[in-house]
Amino acid sequence: MVGPVAIGGDAPVVVQSMTNTFTRDVGSTVRQIHRLEKAGCEVVRVAVPDPASAEAIKAIRKKIQIPLIADIHFDYRLALAAIKAGADGIRINPGNIGGVKKLAEVVTAAKDAGIAMRIGVNSGSLEKDILKKHRSPTAPALAESALRNIERVEGLGFGNIKVSLKSSDVRTTVDAYRELAGKVDYPLHLGVTEAGGLYAGTVKSSIGIGILLYEGIGDTLRVSLTRDPVEEVRVGYEILRALGLRQRGPEIISCPTCGRCEINLFSLVDKVEKRISHITTPFKVAIMGCVVNGPGEAKEADIGMAGGRGVGIIFRHGKLLKKVKEAELVDTLVEEIETMEAGYYTQKGKENAI
């Protein structure tokens, strides 16, 4: 448990992110976390590089709804301070925390506070002896580091842990998780570290995380992007949606366009996406731009639009609703989507009442 959020077992795969503000700037950090909460982030991590950042956790925690994890490197005293300030969990990298004695102090503090710990192994900070043995940060090297540190923590009488083994190389990441998953039963936190910008990072994360989840490996994830962290959450949910593991918000199906398209579909899709980004109800929206697959796809969706020359036809559950001018398509489609969402919640209320 990280606060009230269950990770592992039969719990859904949990979507996490990390702030990129200065943690000691409480106002900026809280505002970013509120945006992440709205996007569906379920657990948030903050960097703790100094005592001021550790102390700020106390104020931040009072102003947010989701559990907060303190990310610690190099100085075990920062972990102790973050735990004292009320962090719901800590993430440490045993390769750089300062040795077994200092790790023991952190474990004791976490145990006394009743919080979880993530053992985070990274290819860039493996223990020197392991790196020397394997000559490079290979998948077996990552797994060996994780197993060593799991054993150390277990030896201190602590088992409330989850584990991550991250590399910026997708194949190394996948192989490392596969190796560890066959040897331990702790929850695994998935991610491809330092994956890159929006495009490269999304592709690498989707492949690496997607392969593992498809194989039944992984209990929580964080998509690492050099981008607004809200985008990390959106990509995370899209990965889960594509694998049929979780559904959040409307799924937009739209064609890539070709020479048959006679409406401005790029602009239309972009505007609709932005207008419905607040909706959490999971249903399917088709926005199609031609007569080949458009009508069929639009009819199969919960809400659909098939465009033609300056006009579009709106469908709901396969039934034709209306024909609309191109200039009115966005407003009409969004209105229908919001009407469907309102009906969904009305029906859910009736079911709950029953």
Question: For residue range 61-115, what is the model confidence (pLDDT) as tens digits?
Answer: 999 999 999 999 889 999 999 999 999 999 998 767 777 889 899 999 999 999 9
Q: How far is CA 297 from the centre of its chain?
A: 29
Using the 8-state DSSP alphabet, how is residue 6 labeled?
-
pTM: 0.89
Say yes or no: do domains 14-242 and 251-353 share a fold: no
pLDDT at 352: 42
Q: Strand pairing of 311-316 and 303-307?
A: antiparallel
Residues 189 and 162: beta-carbon distance below 8 Å:
yes
Q: Which residue has the tokens 């992007």?
A: 225
Domain locations in the chain as residue ranges: 14-242, 251-353
Which has the minimum average pLDDT: 5-14, 149-158, 253-262? 253-262
Q: For 276-353, where are the alpha helices, taking DSSP H only?
A: 294-300, 329-353
Q: Note the residue count of the chain.
A: 354
pLDDT at 350: 40
| 3-state secondary structure (DSSP) of residue 220 | strand
Asked if the model's pLDDT at residue 28 lies above 50, the reply is yes
Is 3.40.50.1220 the CATH number for 14-242?
A: no
Contacts of 156 (CB under 8 A, 6+ apart): 103, 104, 107, 108
Structure tokens at 16: 């996490």
CA distance 37 to 14: 13
CA distances from 84 to 70, 114, 196 (A): 11, 12, 34
* Residue 39 banded pLDDT, cuts 50, 70, 90: very high
- Side chain identity at residue 318, one-letter code: G
pLDDT at 354: 35
Higher pLDDT, 52 or 276: 52
Provide the CATH topology of domain 251-353: Sulfite Reductase Hemoprotein; domain 1 (3.30.413)
Mean pLDDT of the chain: 90
